[in-house]
Amino acid sequence: MRRQSVRVNKADAASLDAGDVYSAVKLYGLTVVAKEIYEQEAEQQEYELLCPDGTTAELTEYSTCNLGKGPGRGIITRHNFQKITNKFLTMIQRLFGQKGKERARFELFTSAPFGGKNLLFQDATQHLQLLEEQLEIAYVLGLDYVALLKGLGHEGGDCALAAKSMEETGKRIHLKHKVLPPVYAVALAKKNAKQINIRNLRGRRSCHSHLYSPGGWLLPSRYTVGAPENDTDNCDVGSVFQSYFWKGCMPGADGNLCKVCIGDSEVEGARASSRCAASHNERYYGNMGALRCLVGNPSGRSFGDVAFLEHSNLLQNIQSEMRSLFSFENVH
């Protein structure tokens, strides 16, 4: 993974989501130096959000219809590279950022000219905000977020189900600290799906950004691990996801949550070596991948009933994916 590339001197800095930022700091002793700030986009009418109270909402209502908030992505580096990394990020943002003096030559937050998406930073990034030196990871990701990670088994903590009530569990998941700007975890479904809501997802097909991601794994866990109809005391979130959903794609997982994954092939069922890999070698990896899994192929076949992902860049990604399918149909 990217954090390992920094560790073994294959990179000086890497952009990671909150789950990987936490692991990078704890396992490898790396340092968080900056955060990415995102933009918002226009509405797309064919999809809807599934709200915690069982209702649905338009995509623009993610701030009131979501599964919880988690910290956004961060950029990590080794301790001895912190100062030079700060200087480098400041310089390249001044030259090539959204208001950069040399933006005509190179756009720091745009991947399209290189034939990809989110290559260096998330394409939705507006700017980087450098963090204070020697800042504890709990204050970077949020105290409650780190507590929830520990509560789900990280570093030997107790399971979140030990909470006295669902209300208390919800409080554990809610973030109060905002050093990294929050991203909202959302459950996305097609409006033409039959009688689907957040309370009847058991036994359905699911699409997740990837294992350990805030939007695709951690925050939705309150509706699997903590769901009233879940009669198990199993604290292993991955195991509960396996039994809760019929099948799906959660890159980095295994079992039935890899059945829908296709690797770097565009053909369903292909036995690509990268199938279910927690990287962009898996076509259904990341927020765009989870969306692609839900949208389906040009024939109209969808591979998921619900997608768990972050709200950042969601609306633009839907429009982009729909245009891609339209282009495919015209060519074929």
User: Using 50, 70 and 90 to split pLDDT, how confident is the model at 128?
Assistant: confident
pLDDT at 207: 96
**pLDDT, tens only, 16-69:** 766 676 666 666 667 776 666 554 443 367 899 999 999 999 988 998 999 887
User: What percent of the chain has a predicted confidence (pLDDT) above 70?
Assistant: 61
**pLDDT, tens only, 308-326:** 998 877 777 776 766 665 4
Residue-wise burial string across 303-326, b where 16 or more C-beta atoms lie within 10 A, e elsewhere? bbbbbbbbbbbbbbbbebbeeebe
pLDDT at 173: 37
* Contact indicator for 318, 291 with CB cutoff of 8 Å: yes
User: Using 50, 70 and 90 to split pLDDT, how confident is the model at 255?
Assistant: very high
**What is the pLDDT of the chain when averaged over all its residues?**
74
Sign (positive or negative) of CA dihedral 307, 313, 315, 319: negative
Tell me the range of 13-17, 164-168, 262-266, 269-273 where mean pLDDT is highest. 262-266
User: Using 50, 70 and 90 to split pLDDT, how confident is the model at 272?
Assistant: low
**pLDDT, tens only, 194-225:** 889 998 998 999 999 998 888 888 888 877 76
Report residue 161: phi and psi, to 5°: -70, -10
- CA nearest to 187, candidates 32, 48, 42, 29: 48
pLDDT at 248: 95
pLDDT at 249: 96
Domains for the chain: give ranges and CATH numbers: 1-327 (3.40.190.10)
Which residues, 6+ apart, have CB-to-CB distance to 135 below 8 Å?
A: 32, 179
